[in-house]
Amino acid sequence: MLRILLATVALLIATTVFAQAIEPLPFKNHAEEIRYQQLTAKLRCPMCQNETLADSNAPIARDLRHQIFDMMQAGKTDEEIKTFLVDRYSNFVLYDPPLERDTLLLWFGPAVILVIGAIVVVMQVRRRARAAAGATPGASIDIDTGDDW
């Protein structure tokens, strides 16, 4: 009984392991396979918007994975492979877009909005403090009720 249970568990583990190897590529060693998986997980499929090249089942994603594999076999570095793809498919393929003129808003937009928000809050707080200090205690309550949004 125990043996059957163990065999079942072993089988289940084995199937989950093999489920990830959708297309077995002839890697030279495990390190190369890890590098390939990390690289394809950092690149975006041009066809399917929100899937990585590693995850996507789109035909173009498969072709690009093969292209990446071939380039790795040819001794290309990760940067060279990324440049190859960016030259053809633009920065869209990068999940981590580089800092450029076109991406300034993307990189610093949130920080700018945060700073504007902070300035507005500081101005409001100061104005209210001034209003509260200038008015009688009774009057300041009236001002607050009118402002409670």
Partner 1 sequence: MSRILPLVAFLVLASLFGFGIWWNTQHDQTAIASPLINKPAPSFDLPVLGDPSRSVSKASLLGKPYLLNVFASWCIECVHEHPLLMTEVKSLGVDLVGYNYKDDPAEASAWIEQHGNPFTMIIADRDGRKAIDFGVYAAPETFLVDARGVIRYKRIGPITQDVIDREIKPAIAALAMEKR
- Nearest residue (CB) to partner 1, 86 versus 132: 86
- Nearest residue (CB) to partner 1, 80 versus 147: 147
Helix (H, G, I), strand (E, B) or coil at 49: coil
> Least distance from C-beta 26 to partner 1, angstroms?
18
- Nearest residue (CB) to partner 1, 36 versus 65: 65
Which phi-psi region, left, alpha or beta, contains residue 110 (left: φ > 0; alpha: ψ -120 to 50)? alpha
- Nearest residue (CB) to partner 1, 67 versus 140: 67
CB 109 within 8 A of CB 97: no
Would you say the C-alpha torsion 34, 38, 44, 49 has a positive or negative sign?
Answer: positive
> Least distance from C-beta 91 to partner 1, angstroms?
8
> Least distance from C-beta 14 to partner 1, angstroms?
32
Distance CA 147, CA 2 (A): 72
> Least distance from C-beta 110 to partner 1, angstroms?
15
Query: Which one, of 138, 32, 38, 44, lies nearest residue 75 by Cα?
Result: 32
> Least distance from C-beta 45 to partner 1, angstroms?
8
- Nearest residue (CB) to partner 1, 52 versus 67: 67
The residue ranges that bind partner 1 (CB under 8 A) are: 46-47, 49, 59-60, 63-64, 67, 86-90, 92, 146-147, 149
Q: CA-based angle 95:104:109, to the nearest 5?
A: 95
